[in-house]
Chain A
């Protein structure tokens, strides 16, 4: 059980690449924090600084108030799951899980108890005597998890643990890891580039880009109240739609198109300003009654997802995605009135790309 504090963490590699810059984060006990961001944004680097596998260039990292910068990885009391599992190929599943306990000098009987316990939780009892080579990807992943949980460590670190699995197994392991966390309550930091994993697993999400934190918040916060265009576009699938235009009175004007914004939704002082508005696909839809935010658009592509259509269309040079109930009959190439729910729109400054509240 641990409380973490990262204060101005910065990592500059030998080749002068600054991978992480001024990373500030406080993690409370029992939290499940997910670092998410595109590849190369510094998630692994941050995690590795926390693990002690990478030196911290500047800033401090502490666990439970104790500064960890100079502490060896083995003395930090953390467990880590690697992307490609990093199982010891010459040891059996049992030996892999028992290794850290053996190094601690724990009595054999207790090691056996703990390993069996973990194996039971993870459904590995039948494989204890196998070498990693003789396991499937999912089973290897479980062993890697098992190796972490037998430790009873203060902190779990996981670096894209599911990215080598096929999509079905990934979804399954995702829930298993979440369940494991609910059961063990160990503070966890989980790295992924997959926003779905972040949204479904995290208690709080840290969104990163180019080594800099973009936003920290609960899944709901980052989805509903994105701080900037990047976060808005990164979280959510399909991604949020963006339209460049300007505000004229109560209207969002973009070329020939004018969309009415309800008073309550329009931030103050935007009159005659250029803005970017963001609308999620579920807020561009079909309404029985047309109003001043309904636009006739030509449908480019229509995908039936079962209960709804994903509708791809273009408006004033901006392609966008909308969602329409599957009860209607839609076809690509036809003209269809789409309702833009402007009360749900998010406004962004086109130069800073920050959200205007």
Chain B
């Protein structure tokens, strides 16, 4: 064991203090408040598990949790699928690959709120005009139903994040030894078989990173949700982050919102840990 002397702790101190102040203390305070009836002004009294009991009966909260889960699962699959496909396209030998990389990555540089408004315009105005032109009813009602709101969010999110995830996949794809692909070619693999048996298993480590990033991003989504659908119609596209925000700042039940936030945190943590563990097992060391 290395002896940890004074200098060691001295160098560590700034980070430790900062972490304690901005992460650990608020976290513990948050846990404490979730057991009270704090309303933002008065600390309120200690109410035990009442907030937790309430929230499991809170239909709006449960609905948002379910909506978020559905949204996350579908988005994670779609984003990773599109991201990997884009990565495969731009790493193949096409001339415009640098231009394409830039283009695919661009949506990431636009802030979530703006993006939401842009897509709102596309879904409502552009889709409607196109729908009118080709006579498709279904294109004219976008974002006005739960269904279209859901898919609107999925599309928006995929469009934004696929380019980002693509970059991660590119890094892994380019790290694949060229000889392995050539060896498989000589072994008689078609391009699909090469992908299925060689490329796919070997980029498995990228899934760990990518799925973690997409999952945490989709689960915590707020601004795109706010600007695209605002939770409507009738709160049916409200995601957990927004629901918690409304509980706290619209209904002024801060302690209750705090309890929801902690449940939310626990769920995200469990999912993330499980997923990292599961992906790690499949990784291959070269």
Which partner residue on chain A sits nearest B198 by CB separation?
A88
- Cα-based distance from A86 to B182 in the complex (angstroms): 9
- Contact call A82/B188, Cβ cutoff below 8 A: no
- Contact call A103/B187, Cβ cutoff below 8 A: yes
Tell me how far the C-beta of A94 lies from the nearest C-beta in chain B, rounded to whole angstroms. Answer: 14
Q: A99-B197, A103-B193 are in contact. Are A53 and B187 (CB under 8 A)?
A: no
Hey, what's the 0/1 contact readout for B171-205 against A, CB within 8 Å counting as 1? 00000010110111111111001000110011000
- Secondary structure dominating the interface of A: mixed
Hey, what's the 0/1 contact readout for A81-106 against B, CB within 8 Å counting as 1? 01010101110000000011001100
- Contact call A86/B185, Cβ cutoff below 8 A: no
Tell me how far the C-beta of B208 lies from the nearest C-beta in chain A, rounded to whole angstroms. Answer: 15
Decide yes or no whether B284 CB sits under 8 A from chain A.
Answer: yes
- Contact call A147/B286, Cβ cutoff below 8 A: no
- Contact call A51/B184, Cβ cutoff below 8 A: no
Decide yes or no whether A78 CB sits under 8 A from chain B.
Answer: yes
- Our pick among A74, A80, A99 for the contact of B190 (Cβ within 8 Å) is A74
Decide yes or no whether B59 CB sits under 8 A from chain A.
Answer: no
- Cα-based distance from A80 to B183 in the complex (angstroms): 7
- Contact call B179/A84, Cβ cutoff below 8 A: yes
- Contact call A74/B180, Cβ cutoff below 8 A: no
Q: A99-B197, A133-B285 are in contact. Are A86 and B189 (CB under 8 A)?
A: no
Residues of B within 8 A of A276 (CB): none
Residues of B within 8 A of A104 (CB): 188
Residues of B within 8 A of A80 (CB): 182-183, 186
- Our pick among B183, B190, B198, B285 for the contact of A82 (Cβ within 8 Å) is B183
Residues of B within 8 A of A74 (CB): 185-190
- Cα-based distance from A88 to B186 in the complex (angstroms): 13
Residues of A within 8 A of B185 (CB): 53, 72-74
- Secondary structure dominating the interface of B: helix
Tell me how far the C-beta of B60 lies from the nearest C-beta in chain A, rounded to whole angstroms. Answer: 46
- Contact call A86/B188, Cβ cutoff below 8 A: no
Decide yes or no whether A79 CB sits under 8 A from chain B.
Answer: yes
- Our pick among B189, B193, B197, B285 for the contact of A89 (Cβ within 8 Å) is B285
Residues of A within 8 A of B201 (CB): 90
Residues of B within 8 A of A79 (CB): 186
Q: A82-B182, A99-B197 are in contact. Are A89 and B202 (CB under 8 A)?
A: yes
Q: A84-B179, A89-B285, A90-B284 are in contact. Are A78 and B186 (CB under 8 A)?
A: yes
Which residues of B in the span 227-286 have a Cβ within 8 Å of any Cβ on A? Answer: 284-286
- Cα-based distance from A87 to B89 in the complex (angstroms): 25
Residues of A within 8 A of B180 (CB): 86, 88-89
Residues of A within 8 A of B184 (CB): 88, 99
- Cα-based distance from A229 to B177 in the complex (angstroms): 39
- Contact call B193/A73, Cβ cutoff below 8 A: no
- Cα-based distance from A131 to B7 in the complex (angstroms): 44
Tell me how far the C-beta of B259 lies from the nearest C-beta in chain A, rounded to whole angstroms. Answer: 45
Residues of B within 8 A of A72 (CB): 185
Residues of A within 8 A of B186 (CB): 51, 53, 73-74, 78-80
- Contact call B284/A89, Cβ cutoff below 8 A: yes
Residues of B within 8 A of A147 (CB): 183, 187
Tell me how far the C-beta of A147 lies from the nearest C-beta in chain B, rounded to whole angstroms. Answer: 7
Which partner residue on chain A sits nearest B282 by CB separation?
A90
Residues of A within 8 A of B182 (CB): 53, 73, 80, 82, 86
- Contact call B179/A82, Cβ cutoff below 8 A: yes
Q: A74-B188, A100-B188, A104-B188 are in contact. Are A86 and B183 (CB under 8 A)?
A: yes
Residues of B within 8 A of A53 (CB): 182, 185-186
- Our pick among A89, A90, A100 for the contact of B187 (Cβ within 8 Å) is A100
Which partner residue on chain B sits nearest A102 by CB separation?
B197
- Cα-based distance from A99 to B187 in the complex (angstroms): 7
Residues of B within 8 A of A88 (CB): 180, 183-184, 197-198
Tell me how far the C-beta of B84 lies from the nearest C-beta in chain A, rounded to whole angstroms. Answer: 17
Q: A74-B188, A103-B187, A133-B285 are in contact. Are A86 and B198 (CB under 8 A)?
A: no
- Cα-based distance from A79 to B190 in the complex (angstroms): 16
Tell me how far the C-beta of B197 lies from the nearest C-beta in chain A, rounded to whole angstroms. Answer: 7
Tell me how far the C-beta of B13 lies from the nearest C-beta in chain A, rounded to whole angstroms. Answer: 41
Tell me how far the C-beta of A16 lies from the nearest C-beta in chain B, rounded to whole angstroms. Answer: 18
- Cα-based distance from A49 to B242 in the complex (angstroms): 60
Hey, what's the 0/1 contact readout for A327-351 against B, CB within 8 Å counting as 1? 0000000000000000000000000
- Cα-based distance from A78 to B186 in the complex (angstroms): 7
Show the binding face of A for B, using Cβ within 8 Å: 51, 53, 72-74, 78-80, 82, 84, 86, 88-90, 99-100, 103-104, 133, 147, 151
Q: Can you name 25 A-B residue pairings with CB atoms under 8 Å?
A: A53-B185, A72-B185, A73-B186, A74-B185, A74-B186, A74-B190, A79-B186, A80-B186, A84-B177, A86-B179, A86-B182, A86-B183, A88-B180, A88-B197, A88-B198, A89-B284, A89-B285, A89-B286, A90-B201, A100-B188, A103-B187, A103-B189, A104-B188, A133-B285, A133-B286
Q: 19 new A-B pairs (CB below 8 Å) besides A74-B187, A133-B285?
A: A51-B186, A53-B182, A73-B185, A73-B186, A74-B185, A74-B186, A74-B190, A78-B186, A82-B183, A84-B179, A86-B179, A86-B180, A89-B202, A90-B201, A100-B187, A100-B188, A103-B188, A103-B189, A147-B183
